Structure formats: C-alpha cells, structure tokens
Amino acid sequence: MASTGEKPLGITAPLSTALPTDSENQASSALIEELKRQNNYESVVDTQKRTEALKALQAITEEFIKQVSKAQGLPDSVANSAGGKIFTYGSFRLGVFGPGSDIDTLVVGPKHVTRDDFFKYFPDLLVKMSPPGAITDLTPVVDSFVPIIKFEYEGISIDLIFSRIAVLNQIPQSLTLQDSNLLRGLDEADLRSLNGTRVTDAILDLVPQKTIFRTALRGIKLWAQRRAIYANIIGFPGGVAWAMLVARVCQLYPKATSSTVVLKFFRIMEKWQWPTPVLLTHIASGPLQVKVWNPRIYKHDSFHLMPIITPAYPSMCATHNITRSTKEIIQRELKRGGNITDQIMSGKLQWKDLFGKHTFFTEGYKYYLSVISASTTREAQNIWGGLVESKIRLLVLSLEGHDSISLAHPFNKGSERVHECHSEEEVEKAKSGSLQFLVKGERTASEKPDDKPKEENAEDVKVENGEGVKTENGEDVKKENDEDKKEDEPKTTMVYTTTYYIGLELKEGARSLDLSYQVDDFKYRCTSWDKHDDSLNALNIVHTRNCDLPDDVFSPGEVKPTRPVKKKTVVKKRTVAEESNGSAPPPKRQQTSVAAQG
C-alpha cells in the first residue's frame, strides 16, 4: 500500500490508495449516465424552487421568533433582534437529492422559544405567510420520536423540526452547529433535532472526495430504494445510514472512483462482521451528561444487530430498528448487488441491471399479512397511519418469535387508498381491506383535506347518476323532483386506508400458522395510544395469499401470481362391453393410482 503523506480519514488506515484505471473511470462515467437516465438528478429550475421555499421558511422563522418574543413581553428591540435560522440536513444537505425528494429542515431558535411555541405558532404562520394554496397536507406530529411538522410547500415535501439553543439569547445568520457546547441545557428531543444537521456536516467532513462520494451514494440510494430496503422506521437503513456506509468505503479507498466505491461497498458490507459497528471516526466524549452509544455500558446497545454509529457527538446508532429478518434481507440484497456489480465492471452487465425493481409482490412470498390502518378523515389518517407505521417493526419482532416463521419481511412503504362508501356495512368492508369501493384515478390524489363530497367542489357540472348535465353557458339544468332525490341519496363516507404488507417465509415442515396472539398484541399496542379514537380510527390485520394481492401493488408489465390449478382425477367410463361382461371397477386406491399414471 502506497503512502501519501495525507492524514487518513476514519478509524483505520486505507485498504488501498491506488488511482483509478481507465476502465474504472469509464464505468464511473457510465454510472453517471445511467443515473441521469433514471431521472436521479433534479433540474436547475426545480432546485431553484427549493431555494425559494427555504427563503420563505427563513422569513416565516424570523416572524415566528418575533411573535413568541413579543407574546412573552420582551421589548420590541429584543424581539426584532432575536433572529432564528433554518438549517437543512439529510439528502438535501448532502447534495444527493433528486426529483420528488423531501427537504429535511430544522428551525433553530433562541433559548426563550420552546417546542410548545413551535407547534402553537408555526403551523398558522406557515399558512398565513405563504401564497394562497401553497401549503398542503399540513400535519403536526407532536408525539413522534422527533416532534415534527410535515407539509408540502408548492408541491415540495418538507419535514420541519425544531430546537432551541439554550445558551444563546439571539440566533445570528452566521451560526453553525459544530460546537458541542451549543448542546448544553437541551432535552433529548432537542438533541435529536440538532443531531441531523451535525451528523450530515460531519459525514461530509470525513469523506476524502465529496464528488465521488455523492455519485456513489446516489447509486446506492437508488439501488436500496428499488430493492425496497430503504426505510428506517420499518427496520431498514435510512438515508443517513446508507450515507455513512458509503462514506466508510470512501475512507478505505480514498483515491477510488465512484464505480469502484460501489463495488467495494457491496463486497465489504456483505462480509462485514456484525455486530462490529461501522464508525467514521472514534466515538468522542463531550460536555454533557447524555447517553453516548456504548454496548459495554448500556445493555440495550448490545442488542443492535447492524450498528452504524453517527460521527457527531453524542454518537447514536442510526440502525437500532433493524431486526433479524430485515438484517437477513439486507444481506441477501448486498450479495445480489455485489454479484451484479462484478459483472458490470467486467462488461457483462450494465448499471441498469443493478437498479432492477424488487420482486416482493411478484416472486417474494406465498403468504402475506396485510396490516390495514383506516380513518374516516384524511387528517386523522395522516396521524393514525403514522402511528401504526411506527409500530410495524414491533409486529415483525413478534412474528420472528413464532415457531413456524423463519422470516418476516416488511415492505418498506404503505399503500394509501381512498374509498367512497354509502353505508356502515361498506365502511366496515373498506376498513377490513375490501377494494370494492375504491376511488380510482385522480380522485385519490386530489381529494381535498376538508373531505367535501365531490359535487360540492364542482363548478359547472352537476353529476347525477354518473351523467353531467349543463347548459351552453355552464349553468346546471334542474330536473323535476331534484330536491326529493337529494333527500333519498345515501350518505357518503370517505374511508382513508394505508396498508402495510409483511411477507412470511415459513420454516420447513411448518404446518400451523396461528398468529392470533401476535395480531392481538399488535392491535393492543396501537389502540392503547391515548389519541386513538374508535369513532375515527380502525386497525385490521388479514392473511393474504400472493394470488389475492390487490392489483394496484403491481406495476405495468409485472405478472401477478395465480392460484395453483389442482389436477383433476379423470375416471374412465366403462364401456358397454365391460358392463355386459360384468367387470367391476378397481378399488378407489387403485383408481387414484391409475388416474395419476394417466
């Protein structure tokens, strides 16, 4: 191994400092071209829209801080100079975002502004200070692990969290968050909120070539998303965890090009000796009396199956949600990815082969569990569905303990559906997974948050019995007895559902699959939540054969599994001659044998 005189990044020396070959450079160029074909890079225009959205959020943040300060009776001079700043983290800050990516955003306020203030003032200010209609799907989630406000700003998904800085009276625009002393006096929720930006910045500081890192990470993120192993809340690595794994490989091969980093990523992580942690830097101590990941001190940390440790103080495990089943799935995919990348580098395959879609529904399993969360308003379902999603991992853990199950594979995303029902019986069917009343087409995507029936939002068209009737100038044509008909129309109830699928791999020779204990326990965990409302929310879990999966989980061109056709036993009819001779039919056992031979 060559010596470079540069200080190595990471906790060990590099494995190789060799420069890339011409073929490796060509493979890297091909990777970038394929990423472009896969629409992985956002246009300049769309990126500018993100910049404008962040500018708007910065203005709202400053107004938020002013209003809270004045409400506390602080002088105008103090309120106007209190500041406030927006930070980003995650894929946007790492520079690996693409079309449709959300922006992970942090609001930082001075010490006198609290999280309660954030949830009290900020949602209303978002709506008030934004262009009309710009804010949609506004959902504050106060009780989550990291309290968050989710919304869309002119079509851009934004996750907004908050932290105060307890040692600062003012938040200047020049503020950075690297200094660990800024963490003094904060609770755990504030620490977790600040950790996102601090970790993202530390990752970028610890990679030798940021451009190479970003290209390789784009490839790995796309692969993980296509293979459905990208979702921290479900039990797979999230974006930060995948970034740290790629960053570690970059440290081990600091001169390598992106194609080599991708290949080495698969081969190193496939053979990684878990639970040895992946570290980008040595775990540091700091000024706070807070928990830092350490399996020798904290028993719970020793149970982490694939620990990937954040590089910023206080160090935490980014993959604590991984279970035995999801670990097995990840390792299978790493092996598959490595085999494909080997053939790409030798010219036998192309990068598009690495990014092939998962086969979770088409070839994955014979048996599935469908976990159906349902609500009768969109707002209620946004909250209830999120709660159920956060508990799916607990159901997976419970299923892993069943005597007949060798693996419980959760799909990384829920399937959201909207149902239009006209009776209590139809409502109950929709809540239990029936797609008989499914609203198809644009209605699902464009259903307004106020849940008004469709005809209330129509302007020129009156819908009656499926037909639109109007005059030339757009005015409705009134029919006789129209008012009487309205009174007779059944009440419409919209049901919003999110279904999570878990594929079940059974142990050899398994005969019984009684999951009543696991199902009842999971339902209890969810419905015992203090904000669960029986009048709004429902939760059902049903067994689903692969041939009974709904059509909408399959993409165009995918083949849905079909029910096996049982071979029919054909009994040969006796001829007239046989009947006249009085020959008797063979016994039943013999008949079966004969039929099978035929």
Task: Report, as residue numbers or ranges, the catalytic residues.
Answer: 91, 102, 104, 159, 221, 230
- Burial environment of residue 76 by CB neighbours within 10 A (0 to 12, 13 to 18, 19 or more): exposed
DSSP state of 234: T
DSSP state of 565: P
* Total number of residues shown for the chain: 598
Which are the contacts of 418, defined by CB distance < 8 A and separation ≥ 6? 438, 439, 443, 444, 447, 494, 495, 496, 497
Stretch (H or E) spanning 158: strand 156-164
- Provide the CA 146 distance to its chain's centre, in angstroms: 16
Rg (CA), the chain: 29
Stretch (H or E) spanning 216: helix 210-226
Q: Which residue spans within 338-476 are E strands per DSSP?
A: 367-375, 405-410, 415-421, 462-464, 467-469
**Six token digits for residue 489:** 């129309």
CA 190 to CA 198: how far, in whole Å? 12
CA 35 to CA 14: how far, in whole Å? 28
- Residue 103 CB: number of other CB atoms within 10 A? 22
CA 595 to CA 198: how far, in whole Å? 72
Alpha helices by DSSP H, listed for 372-511, are 378-400, 424-431, 442-446, 454-457, 482-488
The answer to whether the bond into 314 is cis (omega within 30° of 0) is yes
**Six token digits for residue 403:** 């005597």
| C-alpha dist (Å) from residue 78 to 380, 384, 495 | 39, 40, 49
Three-state SS string across 254-267, please?
CCCCHHHHHHHHHH
Contact 122, 62 (CB under 8 A): no
Q: Checking DSSP bridges between strand 156-164 and strand 103-109, what pairing results, if any?
A: parallel
The 3-state DSSP class for residue 149 equals strand
Measured in degrees and rounded to the nearest 5, phi and psi for residue 34 equal -70, -40
Measured in degrees and rounded to the nearest 5, phi and psi for residue 311 equal -85, -5
| C-alpha dist (Å) from residue 102 to 35, 91, 305, 384 | 19, 8, 29, 21
User: What residues does 148 pair with on adjacent strands?
Assistant: 141
Which are the contacts of 357, defined by CB distance < 8 A and separation ≥ 6? 226, 555
CA 325 to CA 346: how far, in whole Å? 32
Contact 537, 496 (CB under 8 A): no
Which are the contacts of 40, defined by CB distance < 8 A and separation ≥ 6? 98, 218, 222
